Structure 1
Amino acid sequence: PEEAVRHPIWRMGPKISVDCATLMNKGLEIIEAAVLFELPGEAIEVLIHPEGVVHGFVEGRDATLRALLAPPDMAVPITHALFQGETPPPSTLRPLDLAEVGPLHFARPEGERFRAIDLAREALAQGGSAPAILSAADEEAVAAFLAHRIPFSAILSVVEETMSRVPAAPIARPSDLAEADREARAAAQARIARIEGNASPAPRADAGVRVPMYREERF
């Protein structure tokens, strides 16, 4: 957990730092953008950008791209949220120097490692309570990982199994969301308990060899 929460660029809390490592943060942002801007999920693309200075693109019908660039500091979006519609005070952040940043790199997330994005797209397509189920399961899985109860590789398996066990339902009132959240957390906790049950015993101090905390298992 200590390595996962050390983000190379951003300074954030433990939960969001782990979400950055799994790319669940981007999956949740796909759902947010789809709702806020009334866009279909397939119109929203995720790119990996190591420099962390380009925060979004908008593609025009004329094939142009408009980008938002800013220093990788949470003070920027927080200030925007606090002063939306008003003129904020001058920023104390050092202006972004593109010459100093140098080349910008982008890549598409591919492979099993980034399946959090696929899970988020699935939740968005299902609609109803599915995004709430996804979010609740992720919160439980990340909390278990930070508490050294499950390995990093098990986080998304907890989310995926929870989504398969808790069916999405229409949301007519806030209590429907609360019920979906409760069911998702219960299912996630059950999966976490099973993973803990498969954990190898801790090595003896005099064993002289490093024993993995968990058996080799594909989660």
Structure 2
Amino acid sequence: MGNTSKRLVVLGSTGSVGTQTLDIVRTFPANFDVVGLAARRSLDLLRAQVEEFHPNFVSCEGTEDEKAFIALNGSEHRNLLDMVTDPIVDTVVTATVGDVAIPATFAAIEAGKNIALANKETVVICGQLVTEAARKKGVSLFPMDSEPNAIWQCLRGEEQKVSRLIITASGGAFRKTPLEKLSDVTPDQALAHPTWKMGAKITIDSATMMNKAFEVIEARWLFNVPWDDIEIVIHPQSIIHSMVEFVDGSVKAQISPPDMRLPIQYALFYPDRVYNESIRQFDAVATGSLNFEPYEAERYPCFDMAIDFARREGTWPAALCGANDMAVDLFLSGKIGFLEIPTLIREALKEHQSIKEPSLGETIDAASRAREKVSQIVEG
């Protein structure tokens, strides 16, 4: 690698965003050097990544025998905190699911590393804390998730006041499913997203619209926009990823075919834009009509419920996130029905005692306790 290459640590390298991040690295090998990879399990895929990218550091779970490939490939096993704070690291890509990488993200910020942020939970659970930490250390949070990334692109170069953020939503797998049939839908049906190819957790969150509530929370903290100035709209084609309206009534939209590699590439190369022949470009004629619809509160009860809890701030968003994590896990494992997800979350949060100005540890603890509460309700 040349001296100008950006040295990356990829947390969650075997997941959907992690593997697509490495796709970008493959396409532009002179621009990036993968110095660290982290995954919980998926050791066969992680082994293949280590053999391909030869990172300095690797973090994973498993027995000593299962982790033997790390040393055999000349890498060093490190815990997440030591990996992300190493002096050779430039940027940390947080592509994990859940709150497992939040402490490492804060450690990386404290060490002066820029964060390419794909993990929604980091901002949902501790949005004010993480944005303040980044501001104090003078590091950047580069949104990788498609909708926050789209807003970021629309705001670039603008100094005028924002009137509204308009976040688009596909509507998920059940946008047209009769309401009376939602109680019988299966995990496999929920995972059949009409436009995006994503991991299991976020695909279920798309079906419930919880992911859209999380994106509203992300927008609130990443772009410092008041709650009342953030709206959502159903856009089935997933071509317009978000819009920004300015005070004069002008609206900027970020438009592209649904492909996570584009926002990932934008975040990794920022402030530069580069051509990537493997990313399909927008064809207006072939795309045809672009449609918009209001979201149905009855179809997506998670959305209004989540926004209500999020606006309370304190540790409410963290508890919301933890409860949703467990509810989605239970649905995917066949232990609860689809419509029980919002019911369980609301029930679990009835006893939540919010902390108004929580520490990082208190936010993570709130998420953990809510997760356990959901499990207790179901398991008895």
Write 1 or 2 for the structure with the bigger share of strand.
2
> Is the deviation greater in 82-91 or in 27-36?
82-91
Structure 1 CA distance, aligned partners of 2:188 and 2:332?
Answer: 8
TM-score (ref. length: structure 1): 0.83
- Secondary structure in 2 matching 1:11: coil
Q: Could you tell me which amino acid in structure 2 is paired with residue 77 of structure 1?
A: P
Within 2, Cα distance between the matches of 1:119 and 1:176? 22
Taking the TM superposition and a 5 Å limit, the aligned residue runs for 1:36-115 are 36-115=222-301
Find the aligned partners of 2:353 and 2:254 in 1 and give their Cα distance: 37
Displacement of 1:36 in angstroms is 0.8
Point out where structure 1 has 5 or more consecutive residues left out of the alignment.
195-219
Q: 1:159 to 1:84 in 2, by over 3 A?
A: farther
User: Percent identical across equivalent pairs?
Assistant: 35
Give RMSD over aligned pairs. 1.5
Q: Which has the higher contact order (CA 8 A, sep 6+)?
A: 1
1:187 aligns with 2:373: yes
2:331 aligned partner: 145
SS in 2 for 1:38: coil
Task: Tell me if 1:18 matches 2:204.
Answer: yes
Which region of structure 1 is more displaced relative to structure 2, 38-47 or 89-98?
89-98
Question: Matched residues in 1 for 2:191 and 2:252: separation?
Answer: 31
Q: CA deviation at 1:91?
A: 4.3
Q: Tell me how far apart the structure 1 counterparts of residues 271 and 277 of structure 2 sit (CA, whole Å).
A: 16
Residue pair 1:140, 1:189 contacting (<8 A) in 2 also: yes
Q: Structure 2: any 5+ residue segments left out of the alignment?
A: 1-186
For residue 233 of structure 2, what is the amino acid of its counterpart?
Answer: L
Distance 1:173 1:150 in 2: 33
8 Å contact kept, 2:310–2:316: yes
Counterpart AA for 1:109: Y
Residue matched to 1:124: 310
**Which has the higher mean CA deviation after the structures are superposed, 157-166 or 130-139?**
157-166
Check conservation: 1:31, 1:120, Cα contact below 8 A: no
Q: Following TM superposition, by how much is the alpha carbon of 1:130 offset from its aligned partner in structure 2, in angstroms?
A: 0.9
Give 3-state SS (helix, strand or coil) of 1:152's partner: coil
Pick from 361, 365, 370 the counterpart of residue 175 of structure 1. 361
Which residue, out of 345, 349, 354, partners 1:163?
A: 349
Give the superposition deviation at 1:141: 0.5
Q: What one-letter code is carried by the residue in structure 2 that aligns with 1:28?
A: F
Cα deviation code 1:11-48 (max 9, x no counterpart):
00111110110001100000000011111111110101
Between 103-112 and 40-49, report the one with greater CA deviation.
103-112
| Aligned residues between the structures | 194
SS at match of 1:94: coil
When the two structures are superposed, what TM-score results if normalisation uses the length of structure 2? 0.49
Corresponding letter in the other structure for 1:137 = A
Give the ranges of 4+ consecutive aligned residues of structure 1 lying more than 4 Å apart after TM superposition. Answer: none
